[in-house]
Structure 1
Amino acid sequence: MPGNRVVVYKGPGTVGVETIDYPKLELPDDVVNGLGVPKKAPHAAILKLVSTNICGSDQHMVRGRTTAPVGQSLGHEITGEVVETGEDVLFVKPGDICSVPFNIACGRCRMCNEGKTGICLNVNPARPGAAYGYVDMGGWIGGQAEYVMVPFADFNLLRFPDRDQALEKILDLTMLSDIFPTGYHGAYTAGVTTGSTVYVAGAGPVGLAAAHAAQLLGASAVIVGDMIPERLAQARSFGCETVDLRESAELADMIEQIVGEPVVDAAVDAVGFEARGHGDGAAEQPATVLNDVMTIARAGASLGIPGLYVTGDPGGVDEHAKIGQLGVRIGLGWAKSHSFTTGQCPVKKYNRQLMNLILSGKAQIAKAVNATVITLDDAPRGYAEFDGGAAKKYVIDPHRMVAA
C-alpha cells in the first residue's frame, strides 16, 4: 500500500510535506475514544485529491495563532476522485469526482437533521462541529494531501454530474468545499438582496468570495475594504468598489463618497480575530472589524460574520484576546437592532446550488479570487506568499490533474 504525502504544521511560520500512512476506512482515535463509536467505518470513502486549497483559517494555525500542535496535518478544502468505498456506501462509486464540505457531519444527529452541519454532534468529542486538518476539530487527517478519508460519504460528498465537465471547471468547483459557500453564507446572512448596498471587510479569498456572492444575490454596490493594494485591485477587477483602510479618513465618510450616505444595507466581516486598526501601519485590534460593521450598517441591518474568531489565541494582544474576549461595542449593535450570524458555514446548505451556478457559467468564482495552481511540494511557498498578502487563492494540485 502506498504512503500519503500531506502538508503539516512544523511550528510558527513553517509548514512541510511529510509522508504518513495511506488512509484506512477507519475513524480517528479521538472520535472513537471520545464518543464510544466503532473504529471501522464502512460508511466512508477514500478520495484521491484532484485539488485542495490553502485557506486563511489554515494560515491562522501556521502563524502560531491557535493551539495547534507541531505535526498538525493541514487542509480542509478538498475536491477528489473516489478510489475506494466502504461496504455501506451506496450512492457514490470509484471514479466519481466529488466536492467535500469542510464541515465533517454524520447526517444523523439533531443538528444535521436541522441542516446545521457545521455543528454536528457526532464527529468531535471536544465540541460540536469538526473539520479536516484543523486544531481541536476531532483529529481528522488534513486534505492538503495525496489521499484523504471521508466519513459518512453518502451524506458528505457532493458528486459532480459529469466528470469531463468537472475537470474542465475544476478551478471554480474546487471553491465549493469552503470559500464560495462561506462567502455566500456571509452575504446571505447579512441579508443581501436585489439592490442592496454592501460592505465587505477583507479582500482575502473569503472576502472576495463574499463580494462575488453579493453580486450574484443582486447587490447594486459592493464595497470591499482592505489594507493591501493588490487585494483591493483584485476586488476591482470584477466590479467591486474599494476603500483603502490605510487612509486616515473615517470609514463612514469613505462609504458616503461611494453610495451617497454613510451607511450600507448589509455588512460582512471576512477578516476575523487578527484584524488591525485603521491607518497605515496600524497595530492589531481584534474587535476593529466587528465595530466597523456595526458602525456603517444601517439600523435594522443584518451582519454576516464568516471571519474566524477563536477561543484560544496564544498570540493575542492581551489576556482577554487570548481567550477570545474582545472589546466589541455590543451596545451599538443592540441600539441599532442588528442581527448577527456567526460560526462555521453549513456548506451543504449551499454547495449544490452554487455548483449549478458554476456549471451554468453564471458564477466566476475562480476569476474573482484569482485561483493560482501550485504543486504539493510548493505548499510551503504558497503559505509564505499568502501570508505576505498575495492577491491569490492557492490551489494545490497533488496529482497533476488540473488542466493548464
Structure 2
Amino acid sequence: MLKNRAVAYMKPGKVEIQDIGYPDLILRDGPGVNPLNVGRKCEHGVILKVITTNICGSDQHMVRGRTTAPSGLILGHEITGEVIEVGRDVEFIKKGDLVSVPFNIACGRCRSCKEQDTHICENVNPDRPGSAYGYVDMGGWVGGQSEYVMVPYADFQLLKFPDKDQAMEKILDLTMLSDIFPTGYHGAISAGVRPGSTVYVAGAGPVGLAAAHSAQILGASVVIVGDLNSERLTQARSFGCETVNLREHPNLGEQIEQILGIPEVDCAIDCVGFEAHGHGASTGEAPATVLNSIMEVTRAGGRLGIPGLYVTGDPGAVDEDAKFGTLRIRLGLGWAKSHTFVTGQTPVMKYHRDLMMAILNGKAQIAKAVNATIISLDQAPAAYAEFDQGASKKFVIDPHGSVKSF
C-alpha cells in the first residue's frame, strides 16, 4: 500500500508532515470530519496523485489559531493532480487525466449547483451550504496538501487539461485555477470591472495580486493596490499596478487622488478579510478597516467585490463582537452611496475553464503576478512560517518532484 504524507495543522503556529494513509473512495472519520459525513461512499470520485498543491492565505488563518480548526486537520484546498484511480460511477474522467480541482466541493445535483452556485452546494456539508477540502467547518473533506487525495463528484467538478505536456509547461499558472485566480477574477467581476475602470484592490497578498491581474485582463485603465507590506507592493508594481503604502500614508483617499486626480475609484475589491489592520505605522488589528475604507473611496453607485474571508467564529478576535463575525461596518455610508456588495466563496467552476484558456493561449501570466515559488512537501512548515511573516510569494508544493523533473 502506498504511503500518503500530508501537511497537518497541530496547534496555533505549528504544522507538521504526517503519514495519513492512502485514500480510498469513502470519507472516513478523522479530525474535523462532520459525524454526518463519516462513512460517506464516493464511487463518483477519483484518487489523484497530487502534482501541485498551494498554500493559501485562508489556510494561514487556521494556522494562526484564528478559527476553531481541530488539531490534526489535514490542510489544502488548492489541488492539481493526475487521476490514478476512478470510482465505479465515474464515466468521463479517465486514468491519466491531468486535472484542476475547484476548491469548492459540489455535487452537481442540488438546486444551487444547477444554478452555477457551486460555492453553496447543499449536499456536501451537513452544517450549512458550501464546502471545501481541508477547511474548518466545511464538512471534513480531507485536504490536498498531500501526496494523494480523494476528490468526489469527479465528472461534474474536475477541469481536465486538454494536453498534458502543454499543461506541465504552464503548470505554475494552471495550479492557480483551483482557487486564487478564479477568486481574484470573481472579485473583479463582482466589483464591475470593465474596460476603462479605475480599480482599488485592498491587499497585495496572492489573492489581491490575482484580483489586480484579473482587473487588467478585464480592461481596467488603472489598478491601484494598497497594503501595509512594502515587499508585496513591490510585487504589485512588477506587473504594472499603482500602489499605496498604507503604513506610511494612512489616508487612502489622498493617495488615490495623487494618482487619479480625484479621491475615488469606480470600484473596489477587498482581498484582506477579517484579519485587517488599521492604516498607519502603529495601528493594530481592526477588522472593519478595509470594508469601511473601500466604501469611502468608491464612487456613488459603484460596486464592491469582497472575496476576502470573513468568519462566524474567530477565537483570536480583538473584541467579543468580532469573535462572532460582528464588525463595526458603516453600512449607512454604503447605503447612502448606493453601493452593491458581493460576498462569499467564489464559484470556481463559473470561471476556471475560461481562465484556463487564457493561460494556455498566453493571455494571462498569473504565476508571474503572484510570484509562484515551488517547494517540496517537507518544506511546507517553513513556508507557512515565512508566509506568516508577509513573504511576497505564492508557495506551490510539489510533493512528488513532478514539476522540477519535467
TM-score range, shorter chain: over 0.9
Q: How does 1:152-301 map to 2 (within 5 A)?
A: 152-301=153-302
Give the residue type in structure 2 aligned to 1:22.
Answer: Y
Asked if structure 1 preserves the Cα contact closer than 8 Å seen for 2:103 and 2:133, the reply is yes
Paired residue type of 2:21: D
User: 1:13 matched to which residue of 2?
Assistant: 13
Q: Distance in 2 between matches of 1:248 and 1:169?
A: 38
Aligned residue number for residue 34 of structure 1: 36
- The Cα of 1:394 is off from its aligned counterpart by 0.1
**Helix, strand or coil: the match of 2:65?**
coil
Give the Cα–Cα distance (whole angstroms) in 1 for the partners of residues 92 and 237 of structure 2. 42
Report matched runs for 1:46-125 at 5 Å.
46-125=47-126
Deviation at 1:352, TM superposition (A): 0.2
Q: Residues of 2 paired with 1:32 and 1:136: CA distance?
A: 8
Seen in structure 2, the aligned counterparts of structure 1 residues 77 and 16 have a Cα distance that, compared at 3 Å, is same
In 2, Cα distance between the equivalents of 1:7 and 1:281?
34
CA distance in 2, matches of 1:378, 1:403: 15
Aligned to 2:151: 150
Other-structure match for 2:368: 367
Query: Aligned to 1:402, what secondary structure does the other structure show?
Result: helix
Q: Aligned partners of 2:122, 2:172: CA distance in 1, in Å?
A: 32
Give the drift of 1:192. Answer: 0.2
| Residues 32 and 280 (structure 1), Cα distance of their counterparts in 2 relative to 1, 3 Å cut | closer
Give the Å deviation of 1:4: 1.0
- Contact 1:28–1:139, Cα closer than 8 Å, also in 2: no
Aligned letter for 1:112?
C
Provide TM-score, normalisation by structure 2. 0.97
Shift of 1:249: 4.4
Q: Output the CA distance in 2 between the equivalents of 1:328 and 1:228.
A: 24
Shift in Å, 1:3: 2.1
For 2:15 and 2:210, the matched residues in 1 are separated by 26
Q: How far does residue 34 in structure 1 lie from its aligned partner after superposition?
A: 2.4
Deviations 1:18-54 (A, max 9, x none): 001210011345888527x973221000000000000
1:284-307 CA distances to partner (integer Å, 9 max, x unpaired)? 000000001100000000100000
Give the number of equivalent residue pairs.
403
C-alpha contact 1:31 1:123 (8 A) present in aligned 2: no
Query: What displacement does 1:87 show?
Result: 1.2
Distance 1:215 1:270 in 2: 16
Q: Which structure 1 residue ranges, 4+ long, deviate > 6 Å from structure 2? A: none
- TM-superposed CA distance for 1:282, in Å, is 1.5
State how far apart, in whole Å, the 2-side matches of 1:218 and 1:168 are. Answer: 27
Residue 25 of structure 2 is aligned to residue 25 of structure 1: yes
> 2:347, 2:282 → 1: CA distance?
35
Structure 2 distance, partners of 1:25, 1:10, is 25
Unaligned runs of 5+ residues in structure 2 are none
Alpha-carbon distance in 2 for matches of 1:32, 1:38: 10
Contact 1:167 1:403 in 2 (8 A): no
Cα contact 1:27–1:151 (8 A) shared by 2: no
- The equivalent of 2:387 in structure 1 is 386
- State how far apart, in whole Å, the 1-side matches of 2:250 and 2:147 are: 48
Q: Quote the Cα distance in structure 1 between the aligned partners of 2:76 and 2:56.
A: 8
Q: Contact conserved, 2:34 with 2:139, CA < 8 A, in 1?
A: no
